[in-house]
Copies of this chain bind each other. A is one copy, B any other.
Amino acid sequence: MADSPRSLDPVQLGAYFDLIEVSSLLRYAVEQQLREAGDLSYVQFQLLARLGDSPTGSQRMTDLADGVVYSRSGLTYQAGLLEKAGLVVRAPSPEDERVTTVTITDAGRALLAKVLPGHVEVVRGMLFEPLSREDVMTLAGLLAPVRDHMRSTPPRSAAPRRRQREA
């Protein structure tokens, strides 16, 4: 018990609730758009987007799992779906035969391109419409340090054995 459980002040509480609500509603809307436009779940979209952003169009399974906060078996499952749909291919890495390299296909890129405009549309319409350009910069400036903080802080109470952190 390092800290006494003082509660959150009203402003913090409001910010927390609004953050949860905003992200939930946004996520819900985006998921619906992705499902309709390309029959993709959000996770699948994230995986494709990550591969599409990669210069080579490829990534190792483990790196993908790290990026999306997934168990490896969960990633295997999703990668299997994407592969079955012809959106990615998997192949063992020549350098290290233990490693599986996932690569986005042309079909995968095409689907990404097909889905992206609607995706952007939803995000702009829901998230950015009520914000000025300056607001967005401010928001980005606030979220970035939080993101960095979260990334650097392992979950305190129960650290699931993800990857061992080199100390």
A4 with B117: in contact, given A29-B155, A32-B159, A155-B29 (CB under 8 Å)? yes
Cβ-defined contact, B120 with A8, below 8 A? yes
From 106 to 146 in chain A, residues with beta carbon under 8 angstroms from any chain B beta carbon are 116-118, 120-131, 133, 135-140, 142-146
Chain B residues in 8 Å Cβ range of A120 = 5-8
CB <8 Å contact, B125 and A156: yes
A167 at the interface (CB under 8 A from B): no
Q: Are B146 and A2 in contact (CB under 8 A)?
A: no
- Among the 9-residue stretches A13-21, A55-63, A76-84, A89-97, the one with 4 or more Cβ atoms under 8 Å from chain B is A13-21
Cα–Cα, bound, A138→B146 (Å): 14
Q: Which 9 A-B pairs give the minimum distances between C-beta atoms?
A: A5-B117, A23-B23, A18-B143, A15-B140, A130-B149, A130-B145, A25-B150, A18-B147, A15-B139
Enumerate A144-167 residues with CB–CB distance to B below 8 Å: 144-151, 153, 155-160, 164
